[in-house]
Structure 1
Amino acid sequence: MILTDEQIAALTAAERRELILRLTPDPGGLPSLRTIERIRKWRTALMLVCVAALIPWTVYLAVTLPSHYVARNWVATWVGFDILLLTMLALTAVAGWKRKQLVFPTAFASGVLLICDAWFDVMTSQRGGDLTQALLSAFLVELPLAFILIAGPLRLLRHLAVRHGFIHPHMQLWRMSIPIPDLYPDRKLPPRD
């Protein structure tokens, strides 16, 4: 039996989602739910440890770092950073051109690198023309491009989530859960601690 467009349109979001999952072949090779939960817990714990360690470290740096410092490898640092940024932007362009999902992480990473570039350009510039150029570059080029590179994939991710029935069309992306149980429709996810 083939459903008509009208029958599909009459389905609820939950029914459409169930239909999509039933029509999508099992990807195979996925870790067990128990492994997924264990990895999630360990990664969450690692991030919390990093946050806890970074707070006193940041206070320590604020108190102990000199206000003026002559850096070694200055040229290699900036050229290396720009090569990394160039690589990520090129990967984003290729992934976008070929309509590959790799565009999600590369665009997001490129946007973050542009924000970092703007921050360090402004903060390390000498007053006067150097600082003016850094500010103009940050506000006219780097930050707007970073916004496009971060917001675009997030909007596309939300569109895909709505299209595949994972979220309601009016739900915000940050409220969307990772649909792990849907990968294993016949298994139950262990309760969260």
Structure 2
Amino acid sequence: MRTKWTLILLGAAAVLLVPWMVVLGLTLPANTEVRHWSLAWIGLDVLMAAGCATTALLGLRGDSRARLTSSATASVAVLDAWFDITTAQSGPALALAAACAVAETALAGVCAFLALCDRRPSRAPASPEGHS
């Protein structure tokens, strides 16, 4: 029952985000100066590296939780690719961003494949029955 209400709230959040996106589209400036720009980009790469390493370690141990870390890593890679493309200046910077986005999208595809197709039994401890 708890899972059903969580999913209903998740669906409601999706619906409520639509008008918020409209507000953002109408009110955000076309460009802005950003503080800690390099830290933001390094942070995405740290998340991707940590996700790749964690997925590899868990996967090599046969732990089905690698599917979770792989899924999260795919999301971070897509996010990084999106920001690479949308924040790049035109010209050589955009070409470099596109090349990076291709690599990140490939990583996301591999991670999604692992998350969806790994059917090995888990060696992780099972949760007690009756808990959701």
- TM category, shorter: 0.7 to 0.9
1:54 paired to 2:9: no
d(CA) in 2 for partners of 1:48, 1:85:
27
d(CA) in 2 for partners of 1:44, 1:56:
20
Q: Cα offset for 1:49?
A: 2.0
Q: Cα offset for 1:84?
A: 1.6
- Match in the other structure for 2:32: 69
1:104-154 per-position Cα deviation (integer Å, ceiling 9, x unaligned): 001111111111111101111111111101101212x11112111102231
- Match in the other structure for 2:118: 156
Rate the CA distance shift 1:52–1:153 in 2: closer, same or farther, 3 A.
closer
RMSD (Å) for aligned C-alpha atoms: 1.8
* Alignment map for 1:172-191 (pairs within 5 Å): none
Q: Which ranges in structure 2 are unaligned for 5 or more consecutive residues?
A: 122-128
Q: Following superposition, which runs of at least 4 residues in structure 1 exceed 2 angstroms of deviation?
A: none
* Alignment map for 1:105-116 (pairs within 5 Å): 105-116=68-79
1:21-70 per-position Cα deviation (integer Å, ceiling 9, x unaligned): xxxxxxxxxxxxxxxxx212221121022112101000111111111111
- Match in the other structure for 1:143: 105
d(CA) in 1 for partners of 2:115, 2:79:
19
TM-score computed with the length of structure 2 as normaliser: 0.84
Kept in 1: contact 2:47–2:73 (CA 8 A): no
Kept in 1: contact 2:78–2:108 (CA 8 A): yes
Amino acid at match of 2:110: I
Amino acid at match of 1:128: G
Amino acid at match of 1:40: T
* Alignment map for 1:111-130 (pairs within 5 Å): 111-130=74-93
Q: Cα offset for 1:95?
A: 1.0
TM-score computed with the length of structure 1 as normaliser: 0.59
- Match in the other structure for 2:47: 84
Q: Percent identity?
A: 31
1:98 paired to 2:61: yes
Task: State the structure with more CA Rg.
Answer: 1
Amino acid at match of 2:113: A
Q: Cα offset for 1:100?
A: 1.2
Give the SS at the match of 2:64. Answer: coil
d(CA) in 2 for partners of 1:155, 1:61:
37
